[in-house]
A and B are shown apart, each in its own frame.
Chain A
Amino acid sequence: MLLCATAQAQDLAVVVNPLNDVKQLSQSEVINLYMGRKKKLGQNSVLPLDLIGTNPVKLSFYKHLMDKDLSEINSYWARLIFSGQGSPPRQMDSIEEIRQTIRDNLGAIGYVPVNEITEDLKVVFRIKANQ
């Protein structure tokens, strides 16, 4: 319970591979990248990364980025998936897997709690969790 509360209160950082040419993203750009409406990250095809299931960091990401619950995000993707218009962000098991995937892919983008930012990640947007 306490852990959960801490995770939710934690600010988040949207991160990419340091070698990607993107320096900073706006809130709209992050939303469009995660909702499948922006297909390029700098020069690369984008690979958005998400946490699987109902991870509290994931809930906080969508709540504070766009004021949406997970059921609304899933409902949006259900329409696109089952009408053949796109696929949702790739689902990752852990923050560590997000970090690993960004290291291996120039076009990958992910989110991590600010205390998980490491040198192999470039922060392109910050999300305040207590808005």
Chain B
Amino acid sequence: MKIYLFAFLYVFSINLYAISLSEKLTLNGFATVGAAYNDDDNAIYLRSIAQPPEGLEDDVTFNMDSRVGLQLNYQANENLHAGLQVVSKYRYDDTYTPNITWAYLKFSPESDWDLRLGRLGLDIFFRSDSRDIGYSYLWVRPPVDYYGQLNISSFDGLDFSHYIPMGDGLLKLKGFAGVGHQKFPAFGGNQLDLSDSPVYGFLAQYQDINWTYKFVISEQELNDQDPTVDQLVNFFELINRPDYANSFQLDGKTFRYYSLGVAYDKGPWRSQFALGYIDSENIIVSDNKTAYFSLGYKLNDWTPYLLLSASESDKPTVTSGLGPPTDALIASALGGGQVDQTTVGFGARYDFKENMALKFQADFVESKTDTLLLWGSGDDISSWDGENMIISVTLDMVF
């Protein structure tokens, strides 16, 4: 770990914005080394559902936020560009195996049109396509209540963008379509494979000197089934409740995502506000509404900030007809796919070098104890009070 850390520090101390390997080929990189402390061992705090709880259970974990990425850009000519990005972070199988997060060709027939083909970042929630780039935001990690529920961050397919100058700014319209390529941890140690799950959407973004507005609507169809879910589906078929059997089914179900975000960035002020809504056809991962607000003010090299976020899932009730104990078991299974929590966070970002930042953050999370989508079972989940304090420090770098 130490050797890696020194190697990182060496590479990132190179005072360049990108390393030119040739006139047309450049290398960029980003890295975060982060430590997070959770004051309550009874529940394991997750950055997102893409991480398994196993490696995050220590009082202080480096696995949650640490990550490194390298990116090659090849500009063949004015119209043709190729990009490749590889990211290593703690992932679903309890390893840091590097993932190819992008590999695409970009064709720009005119300066106001882009067509990209290959593996692309998924622009599904306000700034979800730059979630790994710690240096690009104020906080130690993007608000968990908002971004934590997204299961994939890139897809294989295509997108096209059209840019229209308007007033003092630029309107961007983008459509995208493809299939997922990732796995993520599901119930009881199983993994869901989203490799054949279609995802498509449309976004409109307007950005002028101080403001950004972005609206995204997208859909994802799940084409995999978790074995635990299969058991539940079989159970409902057995007790002759095909309606429940169908609403528990994951395979073939669609999630629709809506996201609206606004960012204000003027002089020393940096603020963001975003709303999200997930409309689910499935009862296990139910409908969810979420929001966050952040405000920071830069004083010389320090930017203190405030971050408020919340997320609440629908809690459908299931009456099996087999009595309260069975219904309670079903409700508890459903809680594993739900979120009901709020977070108040304070922090400060220290820009001690023009491509490195040190951040400190304290989060006070209050969750209902029966909604566990963003938590893992710790020492004793049954005596968890739903209140956790998370203290985090990260060092973020780019070159």
A contact set with B: CB distance below 8 Å? 28, 31-32, 37-40, 45, 52-54, 66-72, 74-79, 81-84, 87-88, 91
Contact = CB atoms under 8 A, between A and B. Distances in A.
Contact of B71 (A53, A67, A81): A81
Interface in B145-187: 163, 165, 168-170
A76 B75 CA distance: 21
B16 A83 contact: no
B73 interface: yes
A57 to B, nearest CB: 15
B382 interface: no
B287 interface: no
Contact of A71 (B123, B127, B357): B357
B73 A87 contact: yes
Interface string B201-240: 0000001110000000000000000000000000000000
Interface in B276-318: 298, 301
B112 interface: yes
A83 B111 contact: no
A54 B354 contact: yes
Interface size classification for chain B:
35 or more
A75 B396 CA distance: 10
Interface in B90-144: 102, 104, 106, 111-112, 116, 120-121, 123, 127, 129-130, 132-133, 135-137
B398 A84 contact: no
B376 interface: no
Contacts of B30: 78, 82
A66 B298 CA distance: 14
Contacts of B207: 37
B368 to A, nearest CB: 33
B135 A68 contact: no
B15 A53 contact: yes
Contacts of B71: 81-82
B173 to A, nearest CB: 14
A52 B130 contact: no
A76 B136 CA distance: 6
A50 B75 CA distance: 19
B104 A78 contact: no
Nearest to A53: B15
A78 B135 contact: yes
Given A45-B78, A74-B17, A79 B170 contact: no
B168 A75 contact: no
A37 B209 CA distance: 9
Nearest to A89: B17
Contacts of B121: 83-84
Interface string B258-279: 0000000111101000000000
B298 A82 contact: no
Contacts of A81: 18, 28, 71, 398
B116 A84 contact: yes
A79 B123 CA distance: 12
Contacts of A40: 111
B284 to A, nearest CB: 31
A27 to B, nearest CB: 8
B398 A39 contact: no
